[in-house]
Amino acid sequence: MQSKSSKIAALLALLCVLQAAVFAADAPEGFKPLFNGKDLSGWEGDAKLWMAENGEIVGKSPGISRNEFLASTESFGDFVLVFKFKIVNNPKGDANSGMQFRSKRVPNSREMFGYQADVGQGYWGCLYDESRRKKVLVKPPADVLEKAVKRDDWNEYKISCDGDHIVIELNGSMMVDFTETEPADKVDRTGLFGLQIHAGGPMEVHMKDVFIKTK
């Protein structure tokens, strides 16, 4: 006969399996989860800042002096990535964040370099080149952005990479259609994903429903 503790352990294990099955079932056709909805397996970063809560990846910054990133442990080349994102608890309204892709860790640093689908006042919908060319590569038209962005709510990003071609959509509207002209030995066509907390005042970044389809 099973002990009470054994029954409880078995029930918890079953609940975890069911939770994972339900989460996977929510993936768009042809996609798979890049975040399991319950912990940060497959991701690495400062555990004091990054956590999994209520089916979301949450980055909580008390105010930091340098950029911080939660990076995927797996690299990707050609893909379609979809995810939902919002910024909260930012009293000054000046928070900046974003999703790195085809990126790498700067050696001996918490920083990352590579492409970023940017988030934040003045940067929503932009394609930025973090710690490499250090500039905005594409900025969407202001009128298109204003119709698409939801500054105090969940926003859905879709990033598509196919060889030299990069497309970024925000809430179903085209923000970026960019073709890389630098050779692959200077600008990587593969790399990590990385969720950013930018240096600055207090803020929280939340991400959920993170799904990927590889090509």
Architecture of domain 30-214: Sandwich (2.60)
* pTM above threshold 0.75: yes
For residue range 80-95, what is the model confidence (pLDDT) as tens digits? Answer: 999 999 998 886 777 8
pLDDT at 76 over 60: yes
Q: What is the pLDDT of residue 22?
A: 47
H helix intervals, 69-197: 142-148
For residue range 32-58, what is the model confidence (pLDDT) as tens digits? Answer: 999 999 999 999 999 999 999 999 999
Whole-number mean pLDDT of the chain?
Answer: 89
How far apart, in whole angstroms, are the C-alpha atoms of residue 49 and residue 72?
Answer: 15
CB proximity list for 111: less than 8 A, separation 6 or greater: 66, 67, 69, 105, 130, 131
Q: What is the pLDDT of residue 215?
A: 87
Query: Which of 70, 32, 65, 25 has its CA nearest to residue 206?
Result: 70
**What is the residue extent of each domain of the chain?**
30-214
Q: What is the pLDDT of residue 176?
A: 98
Across residues 70-76, what is the average pLDDT? 97
Please give the distance of CA 72 from its chain centroid, rounded to a whole number: 9
**What number of residues does the chain have?**
215
How far apart, in whole angstroms, are the C-alpha atoms of residue 162 and residue 165?
Answer: 5
Residue 149's pLDDT band (boundaries 50, 70, 90)?
very high
How far apart, in whole angstroms, are the C-alpha atoms of residue 57 and residue 86?
Answer: 11
CB proximity list for 142: less than 8 A, separation 6 or greater: none
- Tokens, residue 105: 């860790």
